[in-house]
Amino acid sequence: MAVYEYKALTKSGKNKKGIIDADSEDNAKVKIRENNLYPVFLKEIKNTQQSDKSSFLSVFFTKKIQTKEISLATRQISTLLSAGFHLVGALRSVSSQIKSESLKKILTKVKDEVESGKSFADALSNYPQTFTSVYINMIKAAEAAGTLEIVMEKIADLMETTEKRKSKIRSALAYPLLMMFFGILVLIILMTMIVPKIVTIFSDMNQQLPAITLILISLSDFLKQFWWAILILILSFPGILKLLFKNDKTGYFMDRLILRIPLFGELNKKLIAARFSRILSSLVKYDVPILKSLDIVINIVNNRVFKDALLRAKNGVERGDGLANSLDKEKIFPDITVQMISVGEKSGNLEDMLEKVADIYENDTEDMIVTLTSLLEPLIIVFMAIIIGFIVFAICVPIFTMNQLIA
């Protein structure tokens, strides 16, 4: 069934916009007229999220639905639900105002499925590329607890906070990465174009070259001959990493390795702890049972080492050990986290303590990101200085040797 966007006139002559699903364009016009409207414009909304068989290039030029669009739609649905709208009405109203045609079509399909009796979470689960497991699981918990409008507002807050943090990281890394790119480009030009021309001078003089100069010549020849292999390796590196992470055995090894990398591993631990605490706090706050909340949080943790530890901790909670004691046995979070959770459990304010833990780690991660990015620039400069120094030294040594022989 296709989805159409329409413009129509009411009996009083007012303009009205909307979307409607129908088997054909004629059927869509009939449905519009049944609502006492007179269609003046009708256009099918194409699903740009799915691959278009008619165009191979559409795979590369498909516009992805932005997080801020999903966040805005989520907040609007929450506002309408709080104002007394039923879910189907809220979805219909929001989908008619969205600019993204892909998201508009998805929400229309979701509205139809909810209208036919499906739960909101089940309808959303048909679109995993648009709605994350966190999003779907929190909606599922909210529907069970009867707090859909509140949880959807919290989801929008979490999405906006995450997007702001990603934007900060991207802007902080932009300059160092640009420096690295141009630095590598300069090195490639030096090694493949400049160095070979200088080296020909030495070869014409039939002199024994120092070891460091021979190493430079070997590197230069290698880059000239196999630059294409290096380029393929660089371009395929993200895909190779993705395959390694996808496999359970290699993925577990990679996740463990990441946690052991100095500074970066600590940053990753704090990001996981912040997300764990923030989402668990939101779920507990809206009276979602602790075991159900842990199930949801475990499903959104993307590090296998942490996920396994949290599964064991959940089993401990099931046995009656308490969340703080169960986490303490696993030694995955710092002692201060366990202590604050313990205080929260004893005082009955677990959600407040988890909020404070999340605030602490989020502030720490922002400080660490600033520190790491500030260290990147001098490290890149030092690295470039060492490489260029090596090239200059390798060229100058035989020149000095020849001058001594001539003298």
Token pair listed for 247:
């496999």
Q: Which of 41, 36, 47 is nearest to 1 (CA)?
A: 47
d(CA 174, CA 61) in angstroms, rounded, equals 23
Rounded CA Rg of the chain: 30
The gap from C-alpha 27 to its chain's centroid, in whole angstroms, comes to 40
Residue 28 has pLDDT above 60, yes or no: yes
d(CA 96, CA 16) in angstroms, rounded, equals 10
Domain at 67-160, CATH from 3.90.550.50, 1.20.81.30, 2.30.33.40, 1.10.3720.10: 1.20.81.30
d(CA 353, CA 351) in angstroms, rounded, equals 6
Which residues make Cβ contacts (< 8 Å) with residue 316, sequence separation at least 6? Answer: 322, 325, 326, 329
Is the Cβ–Cβ distance between 39 and 110 less than 8 Å?
A: no
Instruction: Identify the H or E element spanning 15.
Output: strand 15-22
d(CA 380, CA 151) in angstroms, rounded, equals 44
Give the pLDDT confidence of 235-280 residue by residue, as tens digits.
Answer: 888 888 888 888 888 888 988 998 888 888 888 888 888 888 888 8
pTM: 0.66
Most confident range (mean pLDDT) of 97-101, 124-128, 150-154, 261-265 is 124-128
Give the pLDDT confidence of 304-324 residue by residue, as tens digits.
Answer: 899 999 999 999 999 988 899
CATH homologous superfamily of domain 266-365? Type II secretion system (T2SS), domain F (1.20.81.30)
Q: Which of 154, 38, 45 is nearest to 99 (CA)?
A: 45
For the chain, the straight-line distance linking the first and the last C-alpha, in angstroms and rounded, comes to: 89
